[in-house]
Amino acid sequence: MGFKDELFHLKNVVMSLQENKEKIDEEDVVSALVILNYIQYNSVADAFLGCAAINLINTYVKQKDSKLNYKFRRHISNVLKGIEDINKNEIIKVYFEGEKKLGMLMIVFWDFQFSFQHEKETEIIRRLQSKKDAKWDGIRKQLCAKTIFDFSLNTKSISNMTQNKQDLKSFIQKEVEIYREGGYKFINGQLIKIRDIKYGKDVDDKKYKNYFREELRKCQGRPVMLTGKFKCVWKKHVTFTTIRPYIQNCKTITICNHINLYKPDVEKVYDIDKLEKNRKYYIIGFCEEYRTQDRIGIKLAIGFEFKPLIKASDLEQNILEDISSICYRFSIEEFLRESQKYLIL
């Protein structure tokens, strides 16, 4: 039985469970949040698992005993990025209805629908949105969110892989055990990991650190969001130092000693005279190989609705979310700095 046939069977099960709402336990929520933070989206079933995890937590937050707020919904953009990377447009359809700041997002796998209310229309939604309209099927997925989640996690169709290529199910079991031992806490409406945090390995080799890490070649094709401190302007380039990958709510390691942005590109998007030395900036660009040397450089992502170079103190949260919705998803397994004493899932 293929995954399409499995979903057809699941839909029939879901339709039979429309009378009573299933209870969601805290351990289910921990599992779902671990999935959303660590999963590698390789297949249609992986994307379905991501949607099922969102649906499960969305159900839990409405329970009287809920300890979460709605900030977890930032993970929806990562699910959408996974859908874009999987590139199965004939199977997974994305629809958005309503106002840009408050609409309904619908993600459909063949004819199995997930719908998420009160979503903002982001850049990634605009890129994936189907031109045709879709109608809600009337089946309330939150009534049986636990059943849908358990199915999606246990189907053999998932790739079962974290971003760092660990076995996802084993990883979830390990994190749930850490939760049972008090390594996770619900604080101010969010799930916080307070011990056993894995840190990235910094690069000590100064020569190697002048260039992008070899691992960043996999970022080619999708813009990356980095932070860096402005250093100086040269005849042809603008230099930023202390280059770090952007991961929301995380302190990340320095992956590159410095980068040189092409000066004419910088001038297209920023007044160079207003660059402030040693100030932190967000840099959005594409990883590209140098023509003559085996190394990676950054080319500013010009042509989007946002500026690809922004002073950190000037960047509003809603713009930050819109930009990060299309940028490469850096792994929290690989890039956390040792000063990160807790982790918000």
25 lies in the same domain as 79: yes
Give the pLDDT of residue 100.
62
pLDDT tens string 85-108: 998 989 999 998 877 667 888 999
175 lies in the same domain as 291: no
CB burial readout 25-54, b (16+ within 10 A) else e: ebebbbbbbbbbbbbbbebbbbbbbbbbbb
142 lies in the same domain as 228: no
How large is the angle between the packed helices 3-15 and 44-60, nearest 10 degrees? Answer: 20
Using pLDDT thresholds of 50, 70 and 90, give the confidence band for residue 343.
confident
In a domain, 199, yes or no: no
Query: Strands 256-262, 224-233: parallel, antiparallel or unpaired by DSSP?
Result: unpaired
Domain tally for the chain?
2
Say if CB 302 and CB 269 are below 8 A apart: yes
pLDDT tens string 238-252: 999 998 999 888 888
pLDDT tens string 304-334: 888 899 998 887 766 777 788 888 888 888 8
In a domain, 237, yes or no: yes
Give the pLDDT of residue 282.
93
Residue that is last in its domain, among 193, 214, 243: 193
Task: Cite the DSSP H helix spans in 162-288.
Answer: 168-180, 206-209, 263-269
Q: In whole angstroms, what is the distance from residue 70 CA to residue 92 CA?
A: 25
- Edge-first strand order for the sheet with 112-119 is 92-99, 102-109, 112-119
Span 292-296, mean pLDDT? 63
Mean pLDDT over each residue of the chain, to the nearest integer = 86
**Residue-number span of the structural domain to which 251 is assigned:** 206-344
CATH assignment at residue 281: 2.40.50.140
Tokens encoding 264? 């004419």
Give the pLDDT of residue 123.
83
Give the total residue count for the chain.
345
In a domain, 239, yes or no: yes
- Reduced to 3 states (helix: H, G, I; strand: E, B; else coil), residue 112 is strand
pLDDT at 10 > cutoff 60: yes
154 lies in the same domain as 220: no
- Edge-first strand order for the sheet with 184-187 is 184-187, 190-193, 343-344
Give the pLDDT of residue 292.
57
pLDDT tens string 161-209: 999 899 999 999 999 999 999 999 999 999 999 988 888 776 554 444 5
Residue that is last in its domain, among 127, 159, 193: 193
159 lies in the same domain as 107: yes
320 lies in the same domain as 268: yes
Q: In whole angstroms, what is the distance from residue 32 CA to residue 18 CA?
A: 22
In a domain, 324, yes or no: yes
In a domain, 145, yes or no: yes
Residue that is last in its domain, among 148, 167, 193: 193
pLDDT tens string 123-156: 888 888 887 777 777 788 888 899 999 999 999 9
Radius of gyration over alpha carbons of the chain, in Å? 21
Q: In whole angstroms, what is the distance from residue 201 CA to residue 333 CA?
A: 10
In a domain, 290, yes or no: yes
In a domain, 149, yes or no: yes
231 lies in the same domain as 169: no
220 lies in the same domain as 93: no
Give the pLDDT of residue 218.
67
Give the pLDDT of residue 221.
74
Give the pLDDT of residue 208.
47
In a domain, 304, yes or no: yes
Backbone angles phi, psi at 228, to 5 degrees: -160, 160
Give the pLDDT of residue 131.
76
182 lies in the same domain as 210: no
293 lies in the same domain as 168: no
Beta bridge partners of 104: 97
pLDDT tens string 14-63: 888 888 888 999 999 999 999 999 999 999 999 999 999 999 999 999 99
236 lies in the same domain as 332: yes
Q: What is the DSSP string of 131-145?
A: SS--------GGGGH
156 lies in the same domain as 39: yes
Q: In whole angstroms, what is the distance from residue 218 CA to residue 120 CA?
A: 29
Span 266-274, mean pLDDT? 91
Give the pLDDT of residue 20.
85
Say if CB 56 and CB 24 are below 8 A apart: yes
pLDDT at 302 > cutoff 70: yes
Say if CB 168 and CB 38 are below 8 A apart: yes
